Structure 1
Amino acid sequence: MSTESTARQAYPAPDGVLIGHLTPGSEAWDEARAGLCITATEIAAVMGLSPWQSPFSLWHKKAGLPTPPFEMSSPIEWGTRLEEPVADKWQDEHPGFLAAPAGTWHNRDREWQRATPDRLIYPQPAGEFEVPDQAIALLEVKTSPFGDDWGPTGSDEIPVHYRCQIQWQLDTLGLKVCHVALLVSGHDYREYTVEYDEADAKLLRKTAAEFLRTVDAGERPPIDGADATYRTIRVQPDGMEDRDVEISFGLVCRWDDAYQALAKASADLTQVRGEVLDLIGNGKRAVCEERRIAYRTVRDGKTYSLNPYKQKDTAA
């Protein structure tokens, strides 16, 4: 749905207030996500668990400071394109329910807590013109090239940044269950069920409220090693002055040590990649005791790349 309106109401969620059905990237969409609020796609960054954002980069965005421009990657593009057919597949598998576009919501008691779930799930109306009952669950649609960071279908084993997103959505709308429809490699369909965790939701709220306090107070987070942090720092200057800037001796030592370690690590990585690729030969994957270590891609019969499998964070 692309109409921007608060008049077209979705059917109610227990603790959610509908802001509207907003077109992603539109002015109204940006306004609903700007300023001192935290959305479901941002909460993992607040927790330091996002693959795409860091607390540092998100803090600059919320403070209205320069941030790197959004780049439409291939996974993001195809995830967006495939959302509707994957949601349709979930609907086909669950004929007793209706999965409808959800819109953007804020919590009834905390307007700064916002979420835009992919779908709201209702009991299927008996008649064509009957109104669905209150929403009973959420549906999130995801895609993955390999699915190695996901558990078996039917479980609740999903990547931790998506778990943060889902807990935030459930807490925002006051719902207890989120179903996840996942498409792996364009053909492997899986389903997961994530239940509301009150303790996790409380921790998310507490951390988010403190994060917003630091934004309001101008207390910038420390610089960390995330790529998003470095890219954010890069866009802060708006020119160049021909002058020297003195830095500390301790920072220089860390600079020298890091580059020396990088050179050694690069050589070690090249060597171990060569050994693994040599053993794979014409095979596709390197494994160790049922753990997948790396996979080989081929073009014109020759090795094009050797890629590591993502390993699950057993501590999450």
Structure 2
Amino acid sequence: MSTQSVANSAYPAPDGVLIGHLTPGSEAWEEARTGLTITATEIAAVVGLSPWQSRFSLWHKKSGLAVPPFEMTPAVEWGNRLEDAVADKWQDEHPGFLAAPAGTWRHRDRNWQRATPDRLIYRQAATEFEAPDQAEELLEVKTSPFGDDWGPAGCDEVPLHYRCQVLWQMDTLGLRRTHFAVLIGGYDYRECTVDYDEAEAQILRDAADRFLDDVRNGNRPPIDGADATYQTIRVQPDGLDDVDVEIPLEDAARYEIAQLGMQAAKTELTAAKGVLLDHIGTGKRAVVGERRIAYRTVRDGQTYSLNPYTSKDTAA
């Protein structure tokens, strides 16, 4: 990022409203994110692209109904622990700029549109007696175990749910560029850049409007196959009544067929894995041309597991 690009009027200073620098998990932080608001981490769920939430689970949250408690997974914990380290790496790579905590913001006109970016990027003052200029771009810090959904360094290829997140952040603050600093697999550091797209932002705003209308009108989204949906349904009942509940025949058949299908799929997967291991022998990877299919791990000289490659086009 050059000084010229930051100074360019195409990248204006924030025109959103700063709510404050709120401590995650505090009452004020929760209040800024609940109710009839949509945050940057929620917008991907609104459009059905979030790996962690579904429209169904988010609808229940916004409706004030029971939702599963937040779970501090190892991935979340280490992502939080490493955020400052990755941000420091970006800082080291960009002398002359300062990436400072951004705080929680709302859109100047749409009070329900909220965002808490990781960092605001400032040009550093020439001397300690000068205040930094207005922040004009954003920095988003991520960690990931795999790099399949991330493009090479310097590109704009980021996971789609993160693209939704930063478009919402830029739209909320009135900014036009976000830099990503991502640490993949604990050692592969990459930087990517996403520029604001008005047409995409409008799609997200319209979807959020419709979603909030559904919350106000009590229009529950249909049950889908997301784990977040199932976990949300699990926490709705309170207690246990020893009664029989009549259910539609088609729903019973769907459940029973799915159970049979799961057993058949497990059997077929076991057979398919056996065939691949038989092909691999003492090798490590199964490939078709330049495409990697699966890899073998070994403990004490014996096969421990056979694991699929998640990218369809991983080069051998």
Q: TM-score w.r.t. structure 2 length?
A: 0.91
- For residues 180-229 of structure 1, the C-alpha deviation after alignment (integer angstroms, 9 at most, x for no partner) is 01111111111101111111100000001110111111111100010110
Is 1:150–2:150 an aligned residue pair?
yes
Secondary structure of 1:287's aligned partner: strand
C-alpha distance in 2, partners of 1:275/1:175? 53
Q: Structure 1 stretch 13-22 or stretch 212-221: which is displaced more?
A: 13-22
AA aligned to 2:146 is F
Structure 1 segment 1-316 matched on structure 2, within 5 A: 13-311=13-311
- Say if 1:149 and 1:310, in contact at 8 Å, map to a contact too: no
RMSD value, Cα: 1.8
Aligned pairs, number = 302
Amino acid at match of 1:216: R
How far apart are 1:128 and its partner, in Å?
1.1
Between the aligned partners of 1:113 and 1:164, the Cα distance in structure 2 is: 13
Residue segments in structure 2 that go unaligned for 5+ positions in a row? 1-11
The equivalent residue for 1:4 is none
Distance in 2 of aligned mates of 1:53 and 1:285: 34
| Alignment CA distance shift 1:129-1:299 (3 Å) | farther
- The sequence identity of aligned pairs, in percent, is 71
Give the aligned partner of residue 7 of structure 2.
none
Q: How far apart are residue 152 of structure 1 and its match?
A: 1.1
Deviation per CA, 1:88-123: give whole Å up to 9, x if none. 000110112111110111111111111111101111
Q: Which moved more, 1:284-293 or 1:44-53?
A: 284-293
AA aligned to 1:124 is Q
Instruction: Tell me how far apart the structure 2 counterparts of residues 76 and 127 of structure 1 sit (CA, whole Å).
Output: 38
Asked whether the 8 Å contact 2:291–2:312 carries over to 1, the reply is no
How many Å separate the matches in 1 of 2:306 and 2:23?
39
Instruction: Evaluate the alpha carbon distance shift between residue 71 and residue 249 of structure 1 in structure 2; reply closer, same or farther with a 3 A threshold.
Output: same
Verify the 8 A CA contact 1:149 1:312 in the aligned structure 2: no
| Alpha carbons of structure 1 residues 81 and 175: separation in structure 2 relative to 1, 3 Å | same
The farther-off stretch of 287-296 and 107-116 is 287-296
Moved more, 85-94 or 279-288: 279-288
**What is the deviation of 1:299?**
4.1
Q: Which sections of structure 1, spanning at least 5 residues, go unmatched?
A: 1-11
Distance in 1 (alpha carbons) for counterparts of 2:216 and 2:301: 57
- Pairwise CA distance, 1:75: 1.0
| CA distance in 2: counterparts of 1:183 and 1:309, whole angstroms | 20
CA deviation profile, 1:267-301 (whole Å, cap 9, x unmatched) = 11112222233334444443333333333444444
SS of the residue 2:257 aligns to = helix
SS at match of 1:82: helix
SS where residue 88 of structure 1 aligns?
helix
Paired with 1:139 and 1:282, the residues of 2 have a C-alpha distance of 45
